[in-house]
């Protein structure tokens, strides 16, 4: 959907896993392989790769246990000032993205939802510094200590 709205959009996939499934899906969708970049890197290099983007997309299929996770990549991406496109039902991700207006949330895996998200992310207007504030609000060591402290004090 994003490619339909913005023909020169390109996608970077960073994975240490086999990328043949990504290549297969891109082929089935008839995406131009000149706009698809697949790479592997060390964990320490991930911020450098993420920082060259305009947004980060992660869709994670959730199970019952998935409702209680908070992806590390969320903190990394927001701290680099990039908005996030993510699916709902993934821990507190959708609540954080909505509250801080630091990204867009996919409600259902449907064509109309993909269209809506593509349009929203292309119109995203927050600057990098404003998006970084969302990371500071939720993911700094200090905020983590405060949250844990308040939990233990309220037991």
pLDDT in tens, 93-102: 888 999 999 9
Report how far residue 102's alpha carbon sits from residue 116's, in angstroms, rounded to the nearest whole number: 16
Encode pLDDT of 31-87 as tens digits.
Answer: 888 999 999 989 899 899 999 999 999 887 766 655 556 677 888 999 999 999 999
Contacts of 41 (CB under 8 A, 6+ apart): 14, 49
What percentage of the chain's residues is helix, strand, coil (to nearest 5)?
Answer: 50, 10, 35
């Amino acid at each position: 959907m994003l490619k339909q709205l913005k023909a020169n959009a390109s996608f970077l996939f960073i994975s240490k896993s086999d990328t043949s499934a990504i290549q297969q899906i891109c082929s089935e969708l008839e995406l131009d392989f000149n706009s698809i970049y697949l790479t592997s890197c060390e964990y320490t290099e991930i911020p450098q790769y993420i920082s060259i983007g305009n947004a980060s997309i992660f869709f994670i299929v959730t199970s019952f246990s998935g409702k209680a996770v908070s992806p590390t990549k969320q903190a990394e991406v927001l701290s680099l000032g990039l908005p996030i496109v993510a699916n709902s039902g993934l821990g507190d991700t959708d609540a954080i993205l909505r509250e801080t207006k630091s990204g867009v949330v996919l409600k259902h895996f449907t064509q109309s939802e993909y269209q809506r998200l593509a349009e929203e992310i292309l119109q995203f207007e927050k600057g990098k510094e404003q998006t970084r504030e969302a990371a500071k609000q939720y993911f700094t060591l200090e905020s983590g200590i405060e949250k844990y402290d308040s939990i233990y004090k309220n037991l």
